[in-house]
């Protein structure tokens, strides 16, 4: 049944990715496939095998030098239909490309390659570009969080453990901890490798040795192909050694995890009864005009809930690839990795936007410090008073305060009764019980940020 909407997936069911998945669209994958085929021809030319005229003709037909997409003029829908017979789109693509170049250049299109060489290399081309964008968005979110920490470094807030008030902390430390998770994810994103694949039908490079005339020439071909494709030179065939794919998946999951942690906290802290933060844009309700929903946090969290199982699918398929080309596991990677990239692109962009516009209500945060009548300092009272008057008396004091008696009066009475050299006001000041919070914040703020401060319009 034909669809009345052009395109299978416009993001209607995945609002976190809507508008942020162009880098992993089918058309971008097709561009990457064509680019990989052209890179192979250029590699043959670089090592002196393909005639310069053939290389020039193929490059002229398919390069985007003049602002034309490499896959311009290729019917992607028809290619997808034709891919069914052979199990992948490279087979019909080769026929289309050969038909578009001069007869004397056709033998150099896909020369010696197997479909997996081109497809795996294309996946790496797409993944590399997408990961670079994810990393930029994550680093922008990091910087916005550091700026929030600078502005709110003196704002004391309640730390919550197992959903309950625990001890005082600072909003700055909370922001820095979110930033630390993103910083580690960004470092892993930046450390990823994107190797080219050029191994031949069985991973032996036999076809390339035959065409090139020697093992040394075949090795040069692989290095040249990687360079022309903009990829890393592989340390060997990875037809069924799929760590390049699973490592990308693992790092993407870690990145989305870190984004999800930020989003979950923002959603909790923006609850009506808490109200310590609010998203600065969006969040309207179709039925309740009084609401400002944490929409971006919700979208990011939706991605974080989906990403881990996609990572697991990559391991199930990629890591258990069999023989010299697996029966279906290879195909299962494609949409799985693409969806992970797509989620990371959307979640990271929304995280940069969320952190750029996040508003902190320091007054509400300060008010919550007294929600339990000062018992947010109970741990401190136990540590300071326990050795002096006994744990039992401190426990009784805390219980009476929990029952409604004034904690300050109880502490002052205990100090007088035991003639302690302590000041109740100092002892019950939340700002005096934040431990190393300031030092931890300073450490983050004084570290090399490695990126320029983002502009709000770049969120």
The answer to whether residues 184 and 448 touch, using CB atoms and an 8 Å cutoff, is no
CA dist., res. 338 & res. 168, Å (int): 43
CA dist., res. 225 & res. 105, Å (int): 18
CA dist., res. 171 & res. 176, Å (int): 9
Cβ atoms < 10 Å from Cβ of 383: 11
Q: Residue 298: name the closest of 360, 347, 345, 340 by CA.
A: 347
CA dist., res. 135 & res. 187, Å (int): 9
Longest dimension (CA), the chain: 103
**What are the DSSP calls for 216-265, one per residue?**
HHHHHHHHHHHHHHT-BPPSS--SS--HHHHHHHHHHHHHHHHHHHHHHH
Tokens 């590699």 belong to which residue?
43
Q: Give the catalytic positions in this structure.
A: 285, 325
Q: Map residue 288 onto helix, strand or coil.
A: coil
Burial letters for 27-66: b for 16+ Cβ neighbours within 10 Å, e otherwise?
Answer: ebbbbbbbbbbbbbbbbbbbbebbeeebbebbbebbeeee
Query: Any bridge partners for residue 169, and if so which?
Result: 157
The answer to whether residues 106 and 417 touch, using CB atoms and an 8 Å cutoff, is no
CA dist., res. 166 & res. 379, Å (int): 8
CA dist., res. 214 & res. 221, Å (int): 11
Q: Residue 411: name the closest of 432, 380, 437, 438 by CA.
A: 380
Pairing assessment for the beta strands 359-360 and 277-278 based on DSSP bridges? antiparallel
The answer to whether residues 89 and 122 touch, using CB atoms and an 8 Å cutoff, is no
Token reading at 448: 């090399």
């Amino acid at each position: 049944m034909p669809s009345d909407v052009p395109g299978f997936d416009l993001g209607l069911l995945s609002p976190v990715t809507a508008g942020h998945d162009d880098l992993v669209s089918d058309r971008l994958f097709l561009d990457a496939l064509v680019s990989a085929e052209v890179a192979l021809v250029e590699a043959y030319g670089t090592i002196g095998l393909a005639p310069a005229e053939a290389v020039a003709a193929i490059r002229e037909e398919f390069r985007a030098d003049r602002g034309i997409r490499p896959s311009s003029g290729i019917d992607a829908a028809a290619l997808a239909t034709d891919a069914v017979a052979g199990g992948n789109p490279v087979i019909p693509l080769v026929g289309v490309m050969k038909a578009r170049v001069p007869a004397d250049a056709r033998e150099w299109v896909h020369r010696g390659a197997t479909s997996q060489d081109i497809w795996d290399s294309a996946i790496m081309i797409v993944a590399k570009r997408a990961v670079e964008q994810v990393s930029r968005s994550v680093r922008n979110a990091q910087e916005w969080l550091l700026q929030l920490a600078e502005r709110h470094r003196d704002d004391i807030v309640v730390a919550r453990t197992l959903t309950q008030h625990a001890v005082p902390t600072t909003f700055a430390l909370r922001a820095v901890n979110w930033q630390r998770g993103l910083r580690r994810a960004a470092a892993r994103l930046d450390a990823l490798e994107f190797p080219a694949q050029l191994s031949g039908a069985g991973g032996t490079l036999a076809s390339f040795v035959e065409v090139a005339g020697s093992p040394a020439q075949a090795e040069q071909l692989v290095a040249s192909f990687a360079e022309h494709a903009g990829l890393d030179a592989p340390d060997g065939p990875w037809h069924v050694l799929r760590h390049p794919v699973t490592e990308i998946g693992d790092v993407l999951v870690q990145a989305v995890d870190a984004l999800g942690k930020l989003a979950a906290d923002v959603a909790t802290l923006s609850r009506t009864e808490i109200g310590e933060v609010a998203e600065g844009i969006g969040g309207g309700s179709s039925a309740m005009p009084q609401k400002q929903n944490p929409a971006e946090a919700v979208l990011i969290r939706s991605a974080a809930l989906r990403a881990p199982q996609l990572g697991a699918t990559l391991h199930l398929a990629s890591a258990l690839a069999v023989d010299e080309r697996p029966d279906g596991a290879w195909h299962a990677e494609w949409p799985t990795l693409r969806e992970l990239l797509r989620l990371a692109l959307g979640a990271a962009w929304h995280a940069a936007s969320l952190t750029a516009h996040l508003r902190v209500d320091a007054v509400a945060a300060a008010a919550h410090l007294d929600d339990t009548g000062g018992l947010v300092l109970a741990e401190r009272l136990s540590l300071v008073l326990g050795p002096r008057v006994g744990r039992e008396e401190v426990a009784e004091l805390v219980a009476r305060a929990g029952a409604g008696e004034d904690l300050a009066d109880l502490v002052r009475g205990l100090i007088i009764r035991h003639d302690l050299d302590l000041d109740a006001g100092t002892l019950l000041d939340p700002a005096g019980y934040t431990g190393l919070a300031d030092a931890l914040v300073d450490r983050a703020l004084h570290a090399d940020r490695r990126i320029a401060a983002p502009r709000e319009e770049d969120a």
